[in-house]
Amino acid sequence: MELTEDPIPKLIPKIAVPFALGMIFNTMFNVTDTFFAGRLSTDSLAALSLSFPIFFLIIGPGLGIQTGAAALISNSIGEKNTRAAVRYQVQAITLGFFAVLVVTAVLFPLLPSLYRFFGAEGEVLAGGLRYMRVIVGGSFFVIGAQVLNAGLVARGDTTAFRNVLIAMAILNVALDPVLMFGVTVAGTQIVPALRETGTAIATIFLQGVGMVYLIGRGIRGGVYAGAKLRDYLPDRAALRDLIGQSIPATLDLMILTLGTFVITYFVADFGRDAIAAYGASLRIEQIALLPLFGISTALATLVGQNNGAGRLDRVEESFRVSIRFSLIAAVAILVPVLLAAPTLLRLFTDTADVVSIGRRYLYIQGITYFSYILMNLSNSVLRGLKKPVMIMWVGLYRQLFAPLIVFPLLAYTFALRVDGVFWGLVIVNWSAAVFSYVWTRKRLADARVAA
């Protein structure tokens, strides 16, 4: 697969489809956790729903480093500089190790305060802490898996992570109920019922298995070709480049987490059923979006390599084709998801109020569906061009500044209550998407002039 030579319309599906399939299974992994939590109790479902934004505080640094490293590696490959590509990958691993230390030291003592910020108390608080303390303790595996994938994605290899995510999702279906509910044989308890702790243990164990596979795949794919043990020692120049690319991406994901905190804060003000509905419907929304995120991942890889090779014509073509493919996929995915919304929600809970609120969320979010995709495609181009800073500022607008004005205005002033939060997302995300697209087109025009 020659990313700087082969036809763009053929390359995008080759890269996007494995990634999208893997991410669908990744979401199914999360859905499995949510499903069994709902079977445990509504309190457990609420606890895992509140854990979602906190979990992002761990995923964020890993994905940020992966995104920054992949941009540098793909550009290096486009420039035919294999040595630089390998150096960026091994230094990304070093940077990931430091990120684990920081995340663990900062987040672990803050967990009770974070849950109480959302109003969690009693069994909801206890369940959230049982789950998240294990996840934070195993953050090495969560962040490590993301960082190890950078060099593979930069080479257009999205099948490796797909394989990991499919295996994890399948195994999780077996591990979750065993560890959450326990196993009793002939009156003797063989496996204790670990409740939320059980699903967290399953997650960390499977992430560790995935890391081992990705290391092997990277070695076979030349990701570490020629690297020696000393190459993993901190390299000031390489780390400066990585941090320069990774910080905007990490901050964008942290801002996304902050935005999830903001949304969760306002939704939680309308009760336990509202927060449980938001958590369940968010899982469904993720499934609908993930195939389109596969296209944005393919676009970032193509832009990176072709920008490194000086092929701006192919960069622009990749952007156009990605938008076209995304529009087609959006229609094909959104219609059946909206039609099946009530049925899908009942997979998580039988509580009528939870289903009703979740259904309204999904219907309203159908209007803003493509705005997420347009933003992600624009962001992919900016990252491939190694110009990611504006992504962070747009993130601040749509995750913090605008919601703090729009949500209370609609929810309280106009008395739309929780639906006001949902309609606020439509306004905020579409305004951000339009700006992101216009800004990206301007950066492409600037790049043509500079060339």
d(CA 89, CA 69): 7
User: Any idea which of 85-99, 121-135, 225-239, 268-282 has the lowest mean pLDDT?
Assistant: 268-282
pLDDT recorded at residue 271:
82
Q: Read off the pLDDT band of 88 (50, 70, 90).
A: very high
User: Any idea which of 78-87, 260-269, 375-384, 430-439 has the lowest mean pLDDT?
Assistant: 260-269
Is the pLDDT at 250 greater than 90, yes or no?
no
pLDDT recorded at residue 435:
96
Q: Which residues contact 12 (CB under 8 A, 6 or more apart)?
A: 295, 298, 299, 302, 318, 321, 322, 325
Question: Interhelix angle for 352-384 vs 389-396, to 10°?
Answer: 150
Chain mean position to CA 260:
12
d(CA 448, CA 54): 41
pLDDT recorded at residue 451:
65
Mean confidence (pLDDT) of the chain:
87
- Determine which helix (DSSP H) or strand (DSSP E) holds 258, and give its type and residue range: helix 236-268
Range 424-442 average pLDDT: 95
d(CA 218, CA 135): 25
pLDDT recorded at residue 260:
76
pLDDT recorded at residue 424:
94
User: Any idea which of 56-60, 257-261, 368-372 has the lowest mean pLDDT?
Assistant: 257-261
Range 52-76 average pLDDT: 86
Is the pLDDT at 291 greater than 80, yes or no?
no
Is the pLDDT at 351 greater than 70, yes or no?
yes
Bigger pLDDT: 288 vs 212 = 212
Bigger pLDDT: 253 vs 375 = 375
pLDDT tens figures, 167-198 = 999 999 999 888 988 887 777 778 888 888 89
pTM: predicted TM-score of the whole model, two decimal places: 0.76
